[in-house]
Structures are given as C-alpha cells and as structure tokens.
Structure 1
Amino acid sequence: MMIKKEMIANKKQEKIVQWLLEIGFKSKEIDAFFDYFNHHQENLIYELFKNHRQKILNQIHEKEHQISQLDYFLSQFKKNFQGG
C-alpha cells in the first residue's frame, strides 16, 4: 500500500512542478518552494510567490515601455518620412 501512496504523492508533485514551470519558476525557485513546503514555512512560500509576481510585473512594465517607445518612433517615422 505504501507504494500507491508514494505514486500518488509523486503525481501530485509532478503536477505542482509543471504548474511552477508554467508560471515561470526556475529550478532554484522550485527547489526553494519544496524546501519551504516540506518544512511548513507557509510565510516563505507566500513571499516566494509574491516576489515572483513582482518580477513578472516588472517585466510587463519594461515591455510596455518598449512598446511605447516603438509606437513613438513609428509615429515620428511616418510623420517625417512618409508624409503622415
């Protein structure tokens, strides 16, 4: 019976790893998650997720800035070189 419980636990762990990869976690962050999880350190798991969310938001803001700069360049290009 122990083997079946281990198989179920491994399947759950695989699903968690897949989910963490989908949200952009790297192996170091995944290792940290399982370390915190196994030691019941929910506050550190929360901080890990919160920090990752902030990192994603920073990347989004950086990309938004790049798009804004590109839009400005395109409008200037059209105005100056295509008579727009």
Structure 2
Amino acid sequence: MGLVKRTKENLKKCLCIKCPSYAAVCKVKSIPDNLVHMLKKDIETVEHMEGLFCAFGKSKCITREKGCICPECEVYSENNLSKMYFCLEERGK
C-alpha cells in the first residue's frame, strides 16, 4: 500500500515517467495498462499502476537504481515524503 492518495490530480503531478530509473522498456510495456487506468473516472480502486509509485507501490518492471527524482516531485513535497526509490521498494528506501 502506498503513502499517497491514488487520485488523478496526483497522477497529473507525478514525475515518475521522467525518472532515469524508469527504463524505456518499462515505459513501453506499461503504456496500455496505464492508459486504461487513466481513462477511468476513479483510480482510487486500481490495484497497481506503473507510475505514481509512492501511491501504488513498487514497480513490477524497474529493477535498477539509475537515479531518483522523487524529491523534485510536487506529490513528494505535498505529502511530506522523505524516502526515495518508491519504484524499487514498498514505502521507499
């Protein structure tokens, strides 16, 4: 379970897609599912998304630390988060 509310507003602010750890292969693999979830009226009940990892938990695709931009994200600061790499570890590390 993530630390942040699963809302479209938070998803719009999310920088995960720009993160260097989010490899191009992972981005391409996640596009179909993420688009379906984004079109839903309410993403609060979505079990997992490849993005907004501080809300949806660690990635099922990202496997290596290549840099973390979590502290630059508006969602991160608005929710007073202090850890990083939410994509690699539940609740960050």
Q: Same fold (TM over 0.5)?
A: no
Question: Which of structures 1 and 2 has the larger relative contact order (alpha carbons within 8 angstroms, sep 6+)?
Answer: 2
Greater share of helix residues, 1 or 2? 1
TM-score if structure 2 supplies the norm length?
0.28
